[in-house]
Amino acid sequence: MRILLPPSETKRPGGTDTPLDVDALALPSLAAARHQTVDALIALSADAAHAQRVLKLSDRQAGDVEHNRVLRTAATMPAIDRYTGVLYDALDAASLDAQGRRWLGAHVLVHSAPFGPVGALDPIPSYRLAAGTSLPGIPPMRRHWADATSAALAQERFVLDLRSEAYVALGPVPVTVKSEYVRVVTPTGRALNHFNKKSKGELVRLLALSRPRVGSSAALLRWAEENGVVLRRTDPGVLELVVDE
């Protein structure tokens, strides 16, 4: 099973002195698209004021332009540790033991705007780029990433898609791959916002703690039932994760 997570706007600062190695990231077929995006983001950041406008940053966020300017030389840390916010706080990857973190590395991809989907343990720098931003010099994000990312995911056996719709658009799971898209709802079926992210983080944490061998929807549903997780089938290819508010 491969789990696809969305990124987070908020990120943890710092890391090690090891710089970004684009060619060493998961899904190496995306290297060309990654280099193009990184180069475009660095070029944009040469003019801080212009970059602030393109990236739609407030004056308080203007310092994020510098993160983009030094993408290739900045400190890095594993993607699963770089991101913060509701989902990643609930996942709390830093508190997992070595086996749990290895499981994340083998099964989780975080879908970023500048790098595409990266492995949970892939070292990445801090950056600022949203899925809907158009960078000068390359096609709009959706056109730049969608086909290449879908092709890179075509070799997966089973995908559990926890991404937001904006990131699904940057790399739809191919119809040839068995997959489930997860929506978080109340017992009455009402969609949730804050609890959506929190519940997805808790789900991935529980998976990393139990480390099941899941290669199909049926196996996932069996695991959920055994672990007190309420997953129910709605439309084809869609599962509802049922949680209380």
Task: Centre a 10 Å sphere on the Cβ of residue 50 and count the other Cβ atoms it contains.
Answer: 13
Write down the pLDDT at residue 244: 84
User: 65, 45 in Cβ contact below 8 A?
Assistant: yes
Task: Centre a 10 Å sphere on the Cβ of residue 170 and count the other Cβ atoms it contains.
Answer: 23
Tell me the per-residue pLDDT of 187-200, one tens digit each, with 9 for 90 and over: 887 877 778 999 99
Tell me the per-residue pLDDT of 122-176, one tens digit each, with 9 for 90 and over: 999 999 999 999 999 999 999 999 999 999 999 999 999 999 999 999 999 999 9
User: 227, 205 in Cβ contact below 8 A?
Assistant: no
User: 4, 111 in Cβ contact below 8 A?
Assistant: yes
Tell me the per-residue pLDDT of 23-82, one tens digit each, with 9 for 90 and over: 999 999 999 999 999 999 999 999 999 999 999 999 999 989 999 999 999 999 999 999
Write down the pLDDT at residue 188: 82
User: 199, 183 in Cβ contact below 8 A?
Assistant: no
What is the Cα–Cα distance from 15 to 130, expressed in whole angstroms? 22
Q: What is the mean pLDDT of residues 114-127?
A: 98
* Global confidence as pTM: 0.95
